[in-house]
Structure 1
Amino acid sequence: MAMPIRSAMTSVSRMRTFRVPNHTSREGHITGDKEQPMKRHFAKVLFSIATVAAALGTAQAADEKPIRVGVALSQSGNLADSAKHYYQGVELWRDEVNARGGLLGRKVELVVYDDRSDPATAARLYEKLISDDNVDLLFGPWGSASAATAAAVANKHKRVFLNSGGASEQIQERGFKYVFQTAAPISAYVASIGPLADQHGLKSIAFFGRDYAAARDMAKGIKKIAEDRKLDLKTSEFFPAGTTDFSSMIAQARQMQPDIWVSVGYPNEAIEMVRQMKASNYLPKVFIHNGASIEDFLKSAGKDAEYVFAMSLYEPSLKTKGNPEFVKAYTDRYKTEPGYYSAFSYAGATVLEEAVKKAGSVDQDKLRDTLTTLELDTVMGHHKVDPNTGKQIGVTGLLAQVRDGKREIVMPLDVKTTDAVIPMPAWNKR
């Protein structure tokens, strides 16, 4: 259901009507011929004043209305945990921009619906946000599947759509003119795996991904890395959403012995994989999972999280523009450091804010033209899109490793905070 929205108060100007009295001169009464034109003249003046006042009142009322930003995201279903962090990023931005006086001098309000982690529901809700709620701006949902369906709806209506939660590159390959990716594409997640393999002499790789669009894109990226780096790709497989038993994959990996195990999905899956690896006393030289880049993984996996590698696009330690302030504000409010889910939405909202300021309005075509060439630095890094596709081409990926309960950046080398420990120490040698 929608979160409550405050009604904007519209002021209505009331005008008094003045009667023009009949005047008599010493020479006699004003004749009817002179009186009638005077009455008509005053009537015209009053009508003009009323028209101008009404126009000013309407403009003032429009200026007083909040700018409403519509977003559907998963408050229930299997994406609810990760979508919670995504929402917190945009929620924090809303409060900060309002504390600064709003956007274009108007307060910002969020119109939020629950897409129930279902792409079809997401599409219907964005149709509602556009056609029924008539929101001013659209912010994309969390997850590539829902982002893909929602983006199609927005583009059909020629409404600018900030794709801040969909990493699948397929979203930006459909010829949409109003869809702009502020999230990093899936290719950025795996960019550091090849250099890591080169540096540490790793020779083989296996991929196990949750079956969704972003994982399909990642599998292609892993295949290309294997081909380019002459790595032996042992297997590339997908498991359905809701999978909790990873024992068959662990047994397969034990037999194939890949140096690198790469998985993509969500933190709960990363947690279960690590628990089941420990229970079966198995560990590859390198275990990489994007879900390990979220605080939930560290809290739930505890000491077993040590030495796990996280595909990440953001870390609190990054020296990007505004990041120290973001980390402090987020931590003060939510009592945990932000992960990349929160940084995705916060950075996307920052891009949206800058685009509206540069366009000087919420006119969709003006915003589209602005976003096509807009470049700026955010907490994620440098925002830049391909002007032909709207695909994010500025943000780069990171690899982090859990050390002493915290993620430390190990790749790229120019931003590393520590050296990678490879192979990961066996369970019985920790």
Structure 2
Amino acid sequence: MSSRVSRRGYLKGSLGAVALASTAGCAGLGGGGGGGTLEFGYSASLSGPTAVLGEQYHTGFQIWRDHVNENGGILDNEVELVHYDDESSPDRARELANRLASEDEVDFLFGPYGSPNNFSASVVSQQQQIPMVSGASSDPEIFSRGLEYYYSTLSKTDQYGKSFPEFLTSVDWGSYDMSEPTTVAVAKADAAYTSTLGDAFVESFEGSGFDVVYQEEYPLDLQDFSNIISAIDNADPDVLCLCGFPADEARFGEQAQQADLNVGIHYQNYSSQTVIVDTLGEQVDYMFNGAWWDRRYEYERVDTYVEMWDERKDTVAEMPMSYATAAGMVYENAIEEAGSTNADDVNQALANTDIETTLGRTQFHETGWNLHQYENEAVRQWQDQEMTLLYPDDFATGDPWLPTPEWGNRDSAP
């Protein structure tokens, strides 16, 4: 095939710097005629450390496929999904992306779940010159390599962490008979996403006038948090911000309760996940969490997809599902805008994307990340074991419960 003109002019010649070989692979059916099938390939973490989130991600693609096919397909082509379990392994994700492109010869690629797996698999889309749209990557390093065929419906992680400090500075603390919080402890898991997220929170807290009195990075598989809990207790922060994944955050929450670590404002990034609720029970109340999507957001087709998720009866609408659904909506729009299933035509349409998806406005930076998704960052709190949306104000469903009682007394409203 002929050499492709870069979708991002300033990147001409940059691929040699990252040692990405341009090999064969004009994917796609070529024309715009319908009556056939379009195969979208991806791997998802259906086992391994990120399996809980990977399963939700996988479900999001299925929901998108079902919705599209029930409404006539894309350019009258039925959507089919070809998928594998990458076992939460970056090496496996790259191997499977190669298999999907070279052996299965799918028309288009979705990115796998998680930044490490995307960092690895995204090289394949560049080599094979097949577009890859991910709904689950945000590591800034992914977008620094001159990839011309890669897009993420998420923003870079270093854009995150702004809403929670903003929310805290907006609270009328006097009405809760509380002093305004000024000090923060931040703990983060040692992984690409959580480490960068923790750094983003530190920067945002400091930019909002908070004093970060404790910072610590811990191994993702850490089982005993006693040293970290003791250090946080000694630092005596007004706010605790934990950036981890569901399993390690559940362990931390359980051990914080056992150690009677009481902090005025307790935030855990993934406290919305079932594993944490199952671990803490009614004591999950008063805990704050962050979200980069909420089922109550009034964005394009959110109601439709939430209804379809609920009908499955095997899952509830969580963030990774909406991420995958948004990636599908981006492809759906790009193929229709291109009027073609030719890979290069679709890739150009992807680069020009500016639509509303389940994640709100979706428009790509010239390096591939979503310019707007970080703006939708929500702050939520468990109240009566239900999630109350506190921020942004446009979508708020209630007011915060404050002050936070000590462990053992969090089973009722203030």
Judge same fold: TM > 0.5, yes or no. yes
Q: 1:182 aligns with which of 153, 167, 171?
A: 153
Which residue is 1:258 aligned to? Answer: 237
Taking the aligned partners of 2:274 and 2:67, their CA distance within structure 1 comes to 23
Taking the aligned partners of 1:415 and 1:253, their CA distance within structure 2 comes to 33
Q: Is the 8 A contact 2:30 2:341 kept in 1?
A: no
Q: 2:368 aligns with which of 390, 405, 412?
A: 390
The CA RMSD measured in Å over matched residues stands at 2.1
Taking the aligned partners of 1:59 and 1:212, their CA distance within structure 2 comes to 40
Q: How far 1:72 sits from its partner (Å)? A: 0.9
Q: 1:80 aligns with which of 51, 60, 82?
A: 51
In structure 2, the CA distance between the partners of 1:155 and 1:237, relative to structure 1 (3 Å rule), is: farther
Q: How far 1:250 sits from its partner (Å)? A: 1.0
Taking the aligned partners of 2:241 and 2:162, their CA distance within structure 1 comes to 13
Q: Is the 8 A contact 2:30 2:342 kept in 1?
A: no
Q: Is the 8 A contact 2:133 2:153 kept in 1?
A: yes
Taking the aligned partners of 1:59 and 1:219, their CA distance within structure 2 comes to 44
For 2:212, what is the secondary structure of its paired residue?
strand
Q: Is the 8 A contact 1:293 1:340 kept in 2?
A: no
Q: 1:237 aligns with which of 188, 195, 216?
A: 216
Q: How far 1:335 sits from its partner (Å)? A: 4.3
For 2:82, what is the secondary structure of its paired residue?
strand
**Residues 138-197 of structure 1: CA distance to partner in whole angstroms, max 9, x if unpaired?**
001111110111112212322211121112222122221211111243245412122123
Which residue is 1:163 aligned to? Answer: 134
Q: 2:80 aligns with which of 109, 113, 116?
A: 109
Q: 1:324 aligns with which of 287, 303, 321?
A: 303
Which residue is 1:52 aligned to? Answer: none
- 1:353 is aligned to 2:324: no
**Residues 307-344 of structure 1: CA distance to partner in whole angstroms, max 9, x if unpaired?**
11111011122222211221111011134430111111
Q: How does 1:335-354 map to 2 (within 5 A)?
A: 335-354=314-333
Taking the aligned partners of 1:179 and 1:332, their CA distance within structure 2 comes to 32
Taking the aligned partners of 1:149 and 1:231, their CA distance within structure 2 comes to 37
Question: Does 294-303 or 88-97 show the bigger shift?
Answer: 294-303
2:295 partner letter: P
Structure 1 stretches of 5 or more lacking a match? 1-57
Q: Is the 8 A contact 2:109 2:132 kept in 1?
A: yes
Which residue is 2:200 aligned to? Answer: 221
- 1:402 is aligned to 2:371: no
**Residues 86-137 of structure 1: CA distance to partner in whole angstroms, max 9, x if unpaired?**
1111111111211112222122111111111111111111111111211101
Structure 2 stretches of 5 or more lacking a match? 1-28, 172-179
Which residue is 1:197 aligned to? Answer: 168
Q: How far 1:424 sits from its partner (Å)? A: 2.0
Q: Is the 8 A contact 2:338 2:346 kept in 1?
A: yes
Taking the aligned partners of 2:159 and 2:34, their CA distance within structure 1 comes to 40
Q: Is the 8 A contact 1:197 1:203 kept in 2?
A: no
**Residues 247-270 of structure 1: CA distance to partner in whole angstroms, max 9, x if unpaired?**
221111101112222222222222
Q: Give the TM-score taking structure 1 as reference length.
A: 0.81
Which residue is 1:127 aligned to? Answer: 98
Taking the aligned partners of 1:209 and 1:367, their CA distance within structure 2 comes to 38
Taking the aligned partners of 1:248 and 1:341, their CA distance within structure 2 comes to 32
Taking the aligned partners of 2:371 and 2:63, their CA distance within structure 1 comes to 25
Query: Relative to total residues, which structure has the larger helix share, 1 or 2?
Result: 1
For 2:348, what is the secondary structure of its paired residue?
helix
Taking the aligned partners of 1:301 and 1:351, their CA distance within structure 2 comes to 38
Taking the aligned partners of 1:140 and 1:190, their CA distance within structure 2 comes to 24
Q: Is the 8 A contact 1:169 1:214 kept in 2?
A: no
Q: Is the 8 A contact 2:296 2:395 kept in 1?
A: no
Taking the aligned partners of 1:101 and 1:204, their CA distance within structure 2 comes to 55
Q: Is the 8 A contact 1:289 1:311 kept in 2?
A: yes
For 2:271, what is the secondary structure of its paired residue?
helix
**Residues 203-242 of structure 1: CA distance to partner in whole angstroms, max 9, x if unpaired?**
1222211211112321331232133123212233222222
Which residue is 2:401 aligned to? Answer: 421
Q: Is the 8 A contact 2:381 2:400 kept in 1?
A: yes
Taking the aligned partners of 2:194 and 2:97, their CA distance within structure 1 comes to 24
Which residue is 1:274 aligned to? Answer: 253
* Higher relative contact order (CA closer than 8 Å, sequence separation 6+): 2
